[in-house]
Amino acid sequence: MKNKGIWNTWLAVPLCGCAALAVCMQFAAPVSLTGSGRAALTLANLAESLAGRMLPLLLCFGACYALCRHVRRKGTTLGVLFHIFCAVVAGIWLLAQGFQIDNTLDSLTAVPGQMTKSLLYLVGSFAVLELAGAGLIDFLDSGVDLRERGGLARLYREHCFAAYFVTLLICCLPTWIICYPGYLVPDSYCQLAYYFGIYAFYGQFPPIHTLLISLPVKLGTLLGSANLGLFLVVCVQMLCFAAVFAYLMDTLYQLGAPHWLRLFSFLLIVTGPYFIVQAAYVSKDTPYSYGALLYILETVWLFRLGDAFWKNRRHRLLLILGIILTMLMRTNRKYLIYVCTLVYGLVLLLRGRRHPDRKRFATAALCLLCPVLLSLAAEKAVVAHYDIIPGSRREALSLPFQQTARYLFEYGEDAAPEELDAINAVISAEDIPEFYYPMDSSPVKQFFNDEADGAQLIAYFRVWLRQGLRHPLSYIKATMNQNYPLFCPWTTNALQHGETESSRHVHISEPIGLYDVHLSDGLEDSMRALDRLLARLPFPGLLINASGCTLLLLVLCCVALHRRRWAYLLYALPGLLTMGTIFLAPTVDPRFALPIIYSMPLLLCLFLRPGGIDPAF
């Protein structure tokens, strides 16, 4: 089918020009401009924003036009939903430009020159997304592959899992040695403080994970070295890393992924800092992300194999393990399992109506529901045994609190006394405007009143809705100022090699006996510099970037909907739900998106090899 869209019209050249401008121009308004009229000032603003960037502008225009001709020649149609997606993301990118300058949108419309640049940027960003999306789908549809040659390729074919497992462990060795005893994040120090009685034991963090990292450290103290116990945790994580990603590579091979995808996936795993380096971090996100990836892998096999899945003991056990890890390692990710279990259960039920099999449905129910109930029971038992103080409800209210803080920061004088009273019953209306930080709601949510009852929460949400209707732009700015890094590839923080950080938590590390070990400062600095470099390169940078993977996932889902590949949405459901939880989280942190990043090779493979749900269902 010939493409009848914008790239086959006279608009193609100006759109390519706008795309080049969006990529190359400096968006902030120049400090001083000279001109005698509005048009002259506008032109001067644009010229100053492109000063010294004419060569990149011309190269970018040439690349965009070449890609435009390729898209026009291929004639690929991606559907109306994809165009809407590009328009929405282009709008988010425009908002992000304003937020990056001064956390407002004032710089977008301050003077006519800025308004002109805003329009050019919006159109250009739309064109960039359209071209990049169309070019990507054309490549995926082309069926290009690389040849596998030699005995090494035969080894990986015949002993796929074992070969990848050993290779990944070997690739872990430099980080394994340098990280000794392990990289600890502040949350993990807090968890250790809970277990060792330095802090009161709150349910802020997953209690099972607190035990999993604290018991080995306690064992290490009994043996004379807390560091040894911490290193034991890292060793287990490294083994789990190698096993889970070897299983991912084995799955790609069994699903018929092209050689280029398997090659690039393997290079991504061994070079991307979010993979091997994350395995060295003692954090709840590490085992959670492994469990989520295992769960996603098994749900793919569940729908691909049909009845054979329930007859395979290994698949059943791995599915149960994936559910348990996902449930227990991050408290706010239980809802992912709840929703997926409901959706997958309904799909299995509807598919099995024609050929009912009580034994199969009983097995499915046991494998899907029992791990959920077992996880809840285990967590409840640990909470009761250690007399853990329940965690605060504020974690689930991060976004509304951030919106209220922004409203009071901008329009506090408009709030009626009764509205302030309703807000104060739940969160301090006097404090949150002062502590409002646009990128993170953590400073605001600390003022939540844990004793607020249901009636007070209902009254607060009535005020919240009323104020949102009164000044909706304030809520939009609060939401997008916090969440735009989820959609902007140039803003995501890069993970890199860290340290034990015991010197920053002396009141916790000294009583426990943890201390930093620096084997080679020069080597550590070099590895951190390499991590930063890899994060900036197109590969693996875009695929170890939370926003890059988010955009790629949404593009694949839009095209799958256009092509009526409904099964693909089932495979992508955990990733989409993860994206939703990040959007509602206190801040956009790349580690929250690890399940999306880790499952991206699998989702690309499923797009390339669109096998549907087994007809046995």
Spatial separation of the C-alpha atoms in residues 484 and 438, rounded to whole Å: 11
DSSP sequence for 448-505 = B-TT--HHHHHHHHHHHHHHHHHSHHHHHHHHHHHHGGGT-TTSPPPP------GGG-
Domain match, 123 and 47 both: yes
Long-range contact list for 168-173, CB < 8 A, 24+ apart? 168/241, 168/242, 168/245, 168/246, 168/269, 168/270, 169/238, 169/239, 169/242, 171/270, 171/276, 172/238, 172/241, 172/242, 172/276, 172/279
Which residues are bridge partners to 437 per DSSP? 440
Q: Identify residue 63 by its one-letter amino acid code.
A: A
Q: Report the pLDDT value the prediction gives residue 35, as an integer from 0 to 100.
A: 60
Q: Identify residue 296 by its one-letter amino acid code.
A: I
Domain match, 170 and 290 both: yes
| pTM of the predicted protein model | 0.92
Q: Report the pLDDT value the prediction gives residue 129, as an integer from 0 to 100.
A: 95
Residue 532 lies in a domain: no
Spatial separation of the C-alpha atoms in residues 268 and 285, rounded to whole Å: 19
CA-nearest of 576, 548, 547 to 561 is 576
Domain match, 295 and 335 both: yes
Domain match, 502 and 576 both: yes
Beta-carbon count within 10 A of 145 CB: 12
Q: Which of 84, 118, 142 is the last residue of a domain?
A: 142
Cis peptide before 273 (omega within 30 of 0): no
Cis peptide before 14 (omega within 30 of 0): no
501, 503, 506, 509 alpha-carbon torsion, rounded to 10°: 50
Domain match, 93 and 212 both: no
pLDDT tens, 298-343?
999 999 888 889 889 999 999 999 999 999 998 878 889 999 999 9
Beta-carbon count within 10 A of 459 CB: 18
pLDDT tens, 153-207?
677 777 889 999 999 999 999 998 888 999 988 899 999 999 999 999 988 899 9
Residue 173 lies in a domain: yes
Domain match, 306 and 160 both: yes
Domain match, 262 and 190 both: yes
Residue pointed to by tokens 């046995």 = 616
- 3-state SS, residue 405: helix
Spatial separation of the C-alpha atoms in residues 429 and 404, rounded to whole Å: 9
E-strand stretches of 187-286: 281-282
CA-nearest of 537, 535, 543, 608 to 571 is 608
Domain match, 138 and 181 both: no
Longest dimension (CA), the chain: 83
- 3-state SS, residue 202: strand
What are the backbone angles phi and psi of residue 427, rounded to the nearest 5°? -150, 145
- Return the half-sphere exposure (C-beta side, CA atoms, 13 A cut-off) of residue 292: 31
Residue 101 lies in a domain: yes
Spatial separation of the C-alpha atoms in residues 492 and 486, rounded to whole Å: 8
Residue 433 lies in a domain: yes
497, 502, 504, 506 alpha-carbon torsion, rounded to 10°: 170
Spatial separation of the C-alpha atoms in residues 136 and 596, rounded to whole Å: 18
b or e along 147-179 (b: 16 or more beta carbons within 10 Å of the residue's beta carbon)? eeeeeeeeebeeebbebbbebbbebbeebbebb
Domain match, 440 and 335 both: no
DSSP state of 513: T
Residue 121 lies in a domain: yes
Spatial separation of the C-alpha atoms in residues 423 and 187, rounded to whole Å: 29
Spatial separation of the C-alpha atoms in residues 352 and 570, rounded to whole Å: 17
Q: Indicate the number of domains in the chain.
A: 3
pLDDT means over runs of 10, the chain (617 residues) = 65 93 89 72 87 92 92 83 96 94 89 91 95 92 72 72 94 90 91 94 92 96 94 96 96 91 92 90 95 96 88 94 94 88 88 67 86 94 93 84 94 91 93 91 90 92 95 94 91 75 88 86 83 83 87 95 92 95 87 93 92 52
- 3-state SS, residue 330: coil
- Return the half-sphere exposure (C-beta side, CA atoms, 13 A cut-off) of residue 461: 9
DSSP sequence for 170-181 = HHHHHHHHHTTT
Residue 467 lies in a domain: yes
Domain match, 412 and 505 both: no
Residue 320, domain extent: 155-390+492-527+538-608
Q: Give the torsion sign (CA, 30, 90, 588, 287).
A: negative
Domain match, 184 and 325 both: yes
Q: Report the pLDDT value the prediction gives residue 1, as an integer from 0 to 100.
A: 38
Domain match, 460 and 513 both: no
Residue 187 lies in a domain: yes
Q: Identify residue 38 by its one-letter amino acid code.
A: R
Residue 614 lies in a domain: no
Q: Report the pLDDT value the prediction gives residue 13, as an integer from 0 to 100.
A: 92
Q: Which of 85, 111, 142 is the last residue of a domain?
A: 142
